[in-house]
Amino acid sequence: MSAGTAAAGQVEHMLRQVTPGRYDAYEALLRALATPSSGQVWMLLWHGQAGSPDAQYGNMEVDGLGYAPCVTSAQELSASGWNRSYEVVDGLEVARALYPDHYGLWLNPHAPGGGLGIPWLDLRRIAGGLDRRPAGPLRLSEPAIELPQFYALLAQNAHRTPAVRALRRAWVQPALGAPYLAIGLDVYDTSPPAVDAVRAMMQQSLGAVPDGLPVSTVAMSDEHDPVAMWLRANARPFYDREAHGAGRPPAPGYGYPPAQHG
């Protein structure tokens, strides 16, 4: 069996296991695509030849999102009837090329049922390491769990850390794996000393977190991170240096105790 045939077999085998709601099978497909030895795909070129400067992937739009179409083997290429050029590429390389432009990858669009689309957010996970980012689709909400001591200590430590502009929070429930609390870090400065100071701020504050509650951080400046995107759109800061400095009262319910009346 040639290496190319083995590669195609792995991706195609995983693709056949994916059905609605089978996030474990979908994750296995992403892992196959992320593995250089088994993750090759046949990218359909709309313009140019493989390796030429003017080579351009095809594109399709589904539900308002862009995808580059590909097939998973030479056999599928033949079945698709594609009569232009193509390029055999590792899935990892394709993921790195597509996700910054918010393009996903669509596997075997010619197949019965229309094939399968992998959104750009999952290509970003492939590009950056699947185990380093939570499995989507994510369910995001305001945290329901009360952690007044942690938020108060974190806000206090943030005020002593000049690099920090503001802090936000979200409760993240991945498709697979345990839910966790995400803290959005909005910083003025990303120099190594500032990054070290922010890391120390988090470490000094985590002692106030109940045992067993996972806490993660996300950079608010990351325009490709789904948690940061949600926080920018939906969460007001529970610590805001500029509002604090101006003497404006904090918004109730975002890490500060509600005002007492009577």
Domains observed in the chain: 3-132 (3.40.1350.90), 139-245 (3.30.460)
Q: How far is Cα of residue 55 from the mean position of the Cα atoms in its chain?
A: 28
Kindly report the pTM of this predicted structure: 0.75
A 10 A CB-CB count for 36 gives: 11
What CA–CA distance (Å, rounded) separates 104 from 167?
31
Per-residue pLDDT of the chain (262 residues; tens, 9 = 90+): 344 444 447 888 889 888 888 888 999 999 999 998 778 999 999 987 888 888 889 899 988 889 999 999 999 999 999 989 999 999 999 999 999 999 999 999 999 889 999 999 999 999 989 888 888 788 999 999 999 999 999 999 999 999 999 999 999 999 888 999 999 999 998 899 999 999 999 999 999 999 999 999 999 998 889 999 999 999 999 999 988 654 333 443 333 334 444 3
Tokens of 110: 């010619």
The SS3 assignment for 148 reads helix
What CA–CA distance (Å, rounded) separates 105 from 34?
13
> What does the buried/exposed string (b/e) look like for 81-115 if buried means 16 or more CB atoms within 10 Å of the residue's CB?
ebeebbbbbbbbebbebbbeeebbbbbbbeeeeeb
